[in-house]
Amino acid sequence: MIITKKNGNTVVCDDERIVRSVLRANAEVPLEQMTKRQAAVIAAEAVKRILAEREILTTADLREAVYALLCEKGFRQTAEHYMNYKK
């Protein structure tokens, strides 16, 4: 699948890159332990949610979807670190 970046360039979306970003954010929150599998599920679900609504992924849409899923799954502090890391 293709993702449109902020600058307008399009690249192949790499779920593993999303997983690494989520795990880096989670590493900053000792009280919220997350496995790589949990991060992979969140990444896959985020992409699936966006593609259900539209054909083109954007980095902003993906960031918001990952944030929402982290919050839904009880990883609120990780979600905050994820959003702050991406700025």
pLDDT in tens, the chain (87 residues): 778 888 888 888 888 999 999 999 999 999 999 999 999 999 999 999 988 888 888 888 999 999 999 999 999 999 999 998 754
Long-range contacts of 24-28 (CB under 8 A, 24+ apart): 24/85, 25/78, 25/79, 25/81, 25/82, 25/85, 26/75, 26/78, 26/81, 28/78, 28/81
Q: State residue 32 phi and psi, 5-degree precision.
A: -115, 100
Containing structural domain, residue 28: 2-86
Residue 9 phi, psi (nearest 5)? -70, 150
pTM of the model: 0.88
Number of domain units in the chain: 1
